[in-house]
A and B are shown apart, each in its own frame.
Chain A
Amino acid sequence: MTDIAELFTLYHASLVRMVYRRTGDRDRAEDIAQETFARAVAAPPTNPRPWLFAVALNLVREDGRRSVRQGRRLQLLRAEGPDAMPAPDEAFERDEGRLAVQRALATLNDRDREALLLKAEGFNYEEIAATLGMSRGAIGTTLARARRRLVDAYRMQGRSADAAS
């Protein structure tokens, strides 16, 4: 049986980071990671890394289960108050760059986007294929297409912003 504490140590940070990159919402990423590990406790996986990331991505796609959304609302309520709010200007500047990347990522289909995010977490092709339910031979082509589309979309936004200003 897989030791859940070891899995948590090994994969929690990476999982939260990947979901955060996918959703842009830190609280949601934490909740989804928590829900994912809760499921791993209930049904210990044999191939944990692809399993954990596949479950997390399913939760993202489903826009979170009811329990995740409830948890998120509780988090938001707890976070209310002046101390939890960054200054608007600060948040605006910090988010601008990230929004540009999020918008570029949003132009990709789910499979391309997730393949890229898993690759960025150090997954090899076998693991990406296992996580996304694809054949190993299709990963190279998928990544090639995804990288090209992401870079094109990102550069296009840069040109649009330049033209607007």
Chain B
Amino acid sequence: MLHPDEGVIHELLDGELGPEDTEAVRRHIAECGDCLRLYEEARELAAVTDRVIASLDDTRAELNEGFDGMEPIPAPPAANVGAGAPVVLMPSAPVAPKWRRTQPRGGLWAAVLLLVLGGGGYLLLRDGGHENAPPAALPALAALPAESVPPPSADSIADAAAEARAQAALASRPPLGTAALDLVRADTSRQASRDSARDTTRSARRDTANARTQPRDTAPQLAAAARRERQAEPAALTKSLASNAAPAPTLDRAQPRADRAAAAADRSTRDIPAESVAPPRVAAAPASPPTLDVQAQITSRIGLDDAKRELGTPLHAIEGLRPRLVGLVPGRLVPGADPSRNVVRAVYLDANGQPFYLDQQRVGASGPRRAGGIVKGDVQLFLNGNVPPDSAQSLAQRLR
């Protein structure tokens, strides 16, 4: 036989060749190293393509309603697939409220702080210049050297904002016991602190990028970038309060300062010590029941066409019952079976809502067999899961 071209190899992979051609091409590939390499490469291309295209889908639950006519597809539990009971990685109690996701976070709190400090500084300066001011009045902020005022760090600003947010979150929660309250407070505070530091980093990076790409005469944008930069860099904020008359920033000034702001925000993110992030307390959060995919150890759902391609024949099913989902599971159903042929699992639910599985794998007409299963053509089938022995026989008789 001549070497099959790449299109024929993809046809073979997609199950689109007739039985005779399939056999001939397979035999050739088994004997020809070049074609075997081409075949392996094509398999990888097809697998990567499927994965890449599937990643285009929006995994938000509300957008998956109705897909495949089944229940909404949850976010893929990649780390948990096939690993038995699911691992809850995050406590579900402190859910971020909607306003926190729709409003600017760190920037808002920094702006409030700026207003408070700015107003106070202005009052102090005004009082300091008044004739009737008592001699023992507080020293004016402007009269002190900038270094003598301990600048608030980015962390302290983030912590203050986080604490305020934690208080707000606690106020909106039902009363808890003292211990639980402390746990929730610490959790919310840590989470908010990380969120705030991350937000500061991102916004400073964007400002930096914007400052670099703006033309020189876009003063309003530069002024806005400089304002945000001052919020991200507390030392610069204190100095600007002391001078109380900062000129409009230019591109030449804004660029290095924005760089410093990004660096400072980066430091503030890095400086959160790893040990301060407590491991998630699995017991504190009510574990959500595993999805049917996880229970059934399905690595990827497939459609009937894909099942047909894997099995070389339409999916076998139990007459009168509707599979809840069909997918691939790892491993081999029959020792010695072709490892390139995946095990297809049709998942059913019994009257009590317990899943049981009709597993099937193509083993070929003269391929290996395993006792206890059912053979239909080239496919060997097994009923797995919680199937009572008396039901197994009647279900087996209804296999189509």
Contacts and interface: CB of A to CB of B under 8 A. Distances in A.
Interface of A: 9, 12-14, 17, 20-21, 24, 26, 82-83, 85-87, 89-90, 94, 97-98, 101-102, 104, 116-117, 119-120, 122-125, 138-144, 146-148, 150-151, 154
Interface class of chain A by DSSP: helix
Contact of A21 (B56, B66, B303): B56
Interface stretch (B7-15, B336-344, B374-382): B7-15
Contacts of B303: 122
A117 B10 contact: no
Given A94-B58, A122-B304, A147-B45, 6 more contacts: A82-B102, A86-B101, A87-B101, A101-B53, A124-B14, A147-B49
Given A26-B63, A116-B49, A151-B45, A101 B10 contact: no
Interface string B284-309: 00000000000000000001111000
B126 interface: no
Interface residues of B, number: 37
A158 to B, nearest CB: 11
A93 to B, nearest CB: 10
Contact of A150 (B8, B10, B49, B98): B49
Contact of B57 (A21, A89, A148): A21
Contacts of B7: 138-144
Contacts of A104: 52
B347 to A, nearest CB: 19
Nearest to A86: B101
Nearest to B302: A122
Contacts of B10: 140-141, 143-144, 147
A89 B46 contact: no
Interface of B: 5-11, 14, 16, 42, 45-46, 48-50, 52-58, 63, 66-69, 98, 101-102, 198-199, 202, 303-306
A135 to B, nearest CB: 12
9 contacts: A12-B66, A13-B69, A24-B56, A89-B199, A89-B202, A122-B306, A140-B10, A143-B7, A151-B45
Nearest to B6: A144
Contacts of B9: 144
Contacts of A154: 48, 52
Contacts of A119: 14
Contacts of B199: 89
A49 to B, nearest CB: 11
Contact of B305 (A124, A139, A147): A124
A124 B16 contact: yes
Contact of B53 (A90, A120, A141, A148): A120
B276 to A, nearest CB: 22
A103 to B, nearest CB: 11
B56 A98 contact: yes
A140 B16 contact: yes
A104 B68 CA distance: 26
A117 B53 contact: yes
Contacts of B102: 82-83, 85-87
B69 A120 contact: no
Nearest to B102: A82
Contacts of B46: 147
A144 B66 contact: no
Nearest to B9: A144
B55 A101 contact: yes
Nearest to B70: A13
B45 A20 contact: no
A13 B202 CA distance: 36
List the 9 closest pairs (A to B, CB-CB), nearest first: A140-B7, A141-B7, A122-B305, A140-B11, A147-B45, A144-B6, A144-B10, A122-B303, A21-B56
